[in-house]
Amino acid sequence: MKNKKNLILLIVFVIIIGFWAGRFSAARANNEGNLYSYMQLFTQILSKLEQNYVEEINPEKLITGAIQGMVKTLDPYTTYLTKEDFEELKTTTKGKFGGLGIHISSQDDYITVMSVIEGTPASRYGLMAGDQIIKVNGESTKGWSASKAAKNLRGPKGTKVNITIKREGVPEAMNIEIVRDVVKIASIPYAYKIKDDIGYIRITNFNATTDEDLHKALLELSEQNIKGLLLDLRSNPGGLLNQAVETVDEFLPMNKLVVYTKGRKEEFEKKFYTNDNYSFDSIPIIVLINKGSASASEIFAGSLQDWDKALIVGENSFGKGSVQQLFPLPMGNGIKITTSHYYIESGRCIHKERKRDSANKLVVDSSKVNNKQVFHTVSGRVVYGGGGITPDIIIKQDTLSTFEISVVRKNLFFNFAVEYIASHDIDKNFTVTDDIFNQFVEYINEAKIEYTEEQMDEAKEWLKNSVEYQIVSNKFGLEQGNKIAVKQDPQLQKSLKLFEKFDTLEEMFAYVADTTGVNK
């Protein structure tokens, strides 16, 4: 009976394939490698396997595998979605769920952490962008889709999940047990006057309220008479396209081109313009980006750069400039297909092509990337293409030492803060004294982390700052904690010095031209 059912499924599939092959073969008869011939080849292979394989096969499983293999030959963002994948997709769009607080992607056969959401269990337990999750509750994640990983990582608040991560520069895999919590994704977790007359706004993602949140933050900072604005989009994975456009509205007059899409079909080509006249552009603006800034955050940063409304500082962004459309399929399944790419006002394509190498590792396709492509902003300044956004001023982020990674890995900052707050009265003027620091060193020793005297001396200021940040964050929230963390942030501190050195954005542009020899 089961064989008969499988055979019927196979026959139906062959008929469907034959029908579509007939439609396509007429249109592509002159193309190299006739599609109809390959359709016949596929159905014959399927039939031979059904009839002759040593064990009884499941045609449904076989066909699903073939579909997944087919889309895998394209780009990382074109994805076949099973019915279960659709259910998972619905969960992620609700914006509130029990989990860890990470953005993940399936890369190099394993699940990779793309970014960590601030104030979530993942950030408290020290997960970092670039970490590979190689096991979940002891089960290997090799070959897992991002949706399958998300399903296994999420769970009710208060439950635990054990993950094993592999981190670059750390020879041994690390086991971490994390307690799940409700993840609420705040687009702008804090906005405040960071130093003297400089406003600071952290944008973590582009969700449904980002434009409203940004407008409110700008108004509040304007009332404090700021003379400069620092927008921090580092590790911002993007989000809603309309929010990228509407946030750019704050800095450009009406009817200015923000972004447009180009694809093979005309129906996927669209242009997006500003539609408000807020024009918050009377003071110099710096936008901070890094390799974790992607999609909508790249549209935002690149648009302000193209319209000469901001100086871009940091590291080259990720280069996620492709548009996916969701197409429904039978039986509740679907397919997400890359249909077009994003371009910004200067004509630069944001997308950076990636491919899989011989080891199945996802790498930038250098044959399709030309980082020396020259484009020009509205005022004629030179900017470069090649995918992603290239900053006007490149500032690298410091990396942690092996000793510092060990302290983070064991979640010592969070655990020490919890214990310290439980037995001490803390006010907003709290600082880490030498006595408190020595207590934390004892905590490190109890965790049996090995280090040299030289390593401890080099890490001392970072350790003190991290302890202070964690205690203040736990007690008074992320914004108060962030005011501590920025003290040990070289990209941010160097950006602040630019405000001290120059009074206008034009002076900053001139400085870039003088130091790089470009735009003269």
User: pLDDT digit string (tens) for 427-472?
Assistant: 988 999 999 999 999 999 999 999 999 999 999 999 999 999 989 9
Same domain, 345 and 457: no
Work out the angle at residue 466's Cα, subtended by the Cα atoms of residues 464 and 472, and round it to the nearest 5 degrees: 100
Between vectors from CA 338 to CA 334 and to CA 339, what angle results, nearest 5°?
105
Average confidence (pLDDT) over 188-211: 92
**Per-residue confidence band for 271, with pLDDT thresholds at 50, 70 and 90:** very high
Spatial distance between the Cα atoms of 183 and 132, rounded to a whole number of angstroms: 21
Burial of 244 (0-12, 13-18, 19+ CB in 10 A): buried
Is 463 a member of any domain? yes
Same domain, 119 and 260: no
Q: Are residues 343 and 373 in the same domain?
A: yes
In this structure, what CATH number is given to the domain that contains residue 258? 3.90.226.10
**Residue 55 burial (10 A CB sphere; 0-12, 13-18, 19+):** exposed
Query: Who wins on pLDDT, 208 or 93?
Result: 208
Token output for 481 = 């904690």
Report the pLDDT value the prediction gives residue 516, as an integer from 0 to 100.
72
Same domain? For 266 and 288 the reply is yes
User: What letter does residue 396 receive in the DSSP assignment?
Assistant: P
Condensed to tens digits (0 to 9), the pLDDT of residues 118-149 reads 678 988 888 876 788 999 999 999 989 888 89
Per-residue pLDDT at 27 exceeds 50: no
Q: Assess whether 390 and 409 both reside in one domain.
A: no
Taking alpha carbons only, the member of 360, 289, 277, 278 closest to residue 320 is 289
Same domain, 388 and 414: no
Report pLDDT for 83: 81
**Within a domain: residue 512?**
no
Task: Identify the band that residue 16 occupies on the pLDDT scale cut at 50, 70 and 90.
Answer: very low
The verdict on 137 and 32 lying in the same domain is no
444: nearest Cα among 400, 405, 398, 482: 405
- List the domain range (segments joined by +) for residue 25: 2-73
Instruction: Please give the pLDDT value at position 15.
Output: 44
Q: What is the largest CA-CA distance in the chain?
A: 81
CA distance 344 to 262: 11
Q: Rounded to an integer, what distance in angstroms lies between the CA atom of residue 67 and that of residue 59?
A: 12
Q: For residues 24 and 172, which has the higher predicted lDDT (pLDDT)?
A: 172
Give the chain's length: 520
pLDDT in the model for residue 360: 63
| N-to-C CA span, the chain | 79
Least confident among 10-19, 66-75, 447-456, 487-496: 10-19
Question: Within this chain, do residues 227 and 242 fall inside the same structural domain, yes or no?
Answer: yes
Give 197's pLDDT tier (boundaries 50, 70, 90).
Answer: very high
Domain count, the chain: 4
* 197 inside domain: yes
Strands 285-289 and 311-314: parallel
Alpha-carbon distance 115 to 268, whole Å?
Answer: 29
Among 184, 204, 237, the domain-final residue is 184
Q: Is residue 505 part of a domain?
A: no
Active site residue 235: no
**Sign of the Cα pseudo-torsion (501, 503, 508, 510, in order):** negative
CA dist., res. 321 & res. 244, Å (int): 13
| Percent over 70 (pLDDT), the chain | 86
pLDDT in the model for residue 40? 85
Q: What local confidence, expressed as pLDDT, does residue 160 receive?
A: 93
Say what the pLDDT of residue 362 is: 65
Give counts: helices (H), strands (E), the chain: 16, 23
Is-contact 142 122, C-beta < 8 A?
no
Kindly compute the dihedral angle of the four CA atoms of residues 25, 30, 34, 36, in this order, to the nearest 10 degrees: 10
Contacts of 456 (CB under 8 A, 6+ apart): 403, 441
What CATH number has the domain bearing residue 102? 2.30.42.10
Q: Is residue 409 part of a domain?
A: yes
Domain boundary, last residue among 152, 168, 184: 184
DSSP 120-163: SHHHHTT--TT-EEEEETTEE-TT--HHHHHHHH--STT-EEEE
Average pLDDT (141-165) is 89
For residue 178, the one-letter residue type is: I
Is 225 part of a structural domain of the chain? yes
- Residues 408, 265, single domain; the answer is no
Whole-angstrom Cα distance, residue 222 to residue 242? 25
In the annotation, is 282 catalytic?
A: no
Distance CA 141, CA 164 (A): 10
Per-residue pLDDT, averaged over 340-362, amounts to 83
Tell me, what's the pLDDT at 124?
83
Residue 17 is encoded by which pair of tokens? Answer: 């394939």
Claim to verify: residue 116 and residue 236 sit in the same structural domain: no
Which neighbouring-strand residues pair with 135? Answer: 140, 164
Burial 104-137 (b: 16+ CB within 10 A, else e): bbbbbbbbbbbbbbbbbbbbbbbbbbbbbbbbbe
Two tokens, residue 494: 């160097």
Q: Averaged over 87-102, what is the pLDDT? A: 65
Residue 341 has pLDDT above 60, yes or no: yes
In a domain, 515, yes or no: no
Q: Give the Å distances, CA to CA, from 322 to 49, 106, 120, 341, 351.
A: 37, 17, 28, 4, 6
Among 135, 309, 320, 352, the active-site one is 320
Q: Catalytic residue among 181, 306, 392, 489, which?
A: 306
3-state SS of 288-304? Answer: EECCCCCCHHHHHHHHH
Q: Are 237 and 103 within one domain?
A: no
- 364, pLDDT greater than 60: yes
Crossing angle of helices 453-476/434-446, nearest 10°? 110
Query: In sequence order, what E strands does 233-284 have?
Result: 257-263, 271-273
- For residue 295, indicate whether it is catalytic: yes
Q: Which of 123, 235, 295, 297 is catalytic?
A: 295
Nearest alpha carbon to residue 256 among 180, 345, 177: 345
| pLDDT of res. 465 | 95
Do 391 and 243 have their domain in common? yes
Per-residue pLDDT, 409: 83
